[in-house]
Structure 1
Amino acid sequence: MSLPSSLPGPPSSPLRQLLGFGWMQTRACAFAIALLSGVAASTLLPDLPVARYDLLVVYGVLLTLLFWTRGWESNRDVAVIAVCHVIGLAFELVKVSLGSWSYPEPAVLKFAGVPLYGGFLYAAVGSYVCRAWHLADLELVRYRPRATALVAAAVYANFFTHHWLPDVRWPLAALLAAVTARTWVRFTVRGVRHRMPLALSFVLIGFFLWLAENLATYVGAWRYPYQTHGWQPVGVEKFGAWALLISVTVVLAAAAFSGRRTAPAARA
């Protein structure tokens, strides 16, 4: 699928490039859009003998199989997404146990207060990064894999340890900016090659993940303590948290696609 060729101007015109970029990003978000749509639709279901969270686990598995069998995600993509799922579940187990947020509904496929479907929320982020890598023919220029991976690992660890030790996310943000200062992301929109700083891509993705988190909590994906008696917007500090956390997913994808700009996958 592509944008209509009747759009005004040559392929390189700013309007066509902007619309092409937006359409490409929408396609990259296909798994996330389908997952959140399923979460929203599940709130409209009548009372069933199966818990809503358990149904969402089945739905997430079916979505994964659909994307894989259709060739929209390769074996390598599925491996990256599976790692994101596991990392996300570990994150959820700690955060839910500390009361940072909750999944208040009962379920059979639920451990220590965390339903297994919670991992699919992180898998959706992994799916976005993998699909964007293919659709935009991404290339990292002057990327420092070891240094960036070490900082990303420290960022991930800090989201656990700050509950007991000093929170060092701002020093880590500065360190992440430093190790990626000369790293550019090159990408293609409608045949035209562009580039942006990798650090800027973290900020932009973090912003849209924050918007998605607002939507996800609105449709009942999970609940923060201040949303117990009715939905409220997610605090803007989560924007910064996502801008840092996305570095973990990008490091995983970069390792999986090392030496190749894209991986074999159908361009849905």
Structure 2
Amino acid sequence: MSAWLVTNRWLHWDKFETQFNQLLAAADGRVDMRRVHTDWVVSHLDGKLPQLALIMDKDVATTAQLESLGVRCVNTAKAIALCDNKAYTHARLTAAGIAHPRTVVAPLTFRPLTAEEWEASEFVDAVERTLGFPAVAKHAVGSWGSGVFLVHSRAELIEVLTKAAGAPVLVEEFVAGSSGRDARIYLVGDTPVAAMRRFGAEGDFRANITGGGRAEAWNPPSEYVEVARQAMAALGLEVGSVDFLDASAPLVGEVNSNAQFVTLAETTGIDVAAQVIDYLEALP
């Protein structure tokens, strides 16, 4: 099988480089895999294309172009788009009946609004009425815990909305029991290959390792695995991770199409890259 490992020239992070190298090493002798950047891909669509592309980026447009020319993409452009925008993720999880925090999605504004305009909006009224404070305001598109804010009042929410300058935002209920911790299951197809619990840095309500947190291996109960599978199916993912808030029952926090798995592999001792290649090699 000929395959491209599609990455982004302008994303520089040591752990991602390690991840890409692990995938290429696992593919050696099994899958004819070549690493290419998205800017190279879009300039070579009239050349010889691979049978398969493992998309390790969030470039939906480039992925869609590959698909239009018959390249099998893992994950698909649609699945990446649904995961990359948390508002779309919320809608799909709701439609599938999958438990996740109550959410109010900010409407499209076409331009940045002033604080006075947000103050007068029905959206802010809805957040205050249905969620209350504190609440978690998020940029709908963002990674590694950036663009996530714990807001304690109407004024703090309006400040986040104003500084977002027209970027899409949503607001979730604050689940106090999950403050500073969550859990992640990484799935390849229907198989939960590795899982960990994450604990945020001291005083941080987020649980991202990139923000200075720590992780430990986790053996997820069967009900969490089942919900993770349901979430993956709802979003059309073949390879990805499902994050759970630390609640008394499975409560999905986020679903990721391009999750970094180096920390997960280091924490659990599981060769996640090999599991991904096993899956690709078995595709019809």
Give the TM-score range, shorter chain. under 0.3
TM norm structure 2: 0.25
| Higher strand residue share | 2
Instruction: Return the structure number with greater helix share.
Output: 1
TM-score by length of 1: 0.26
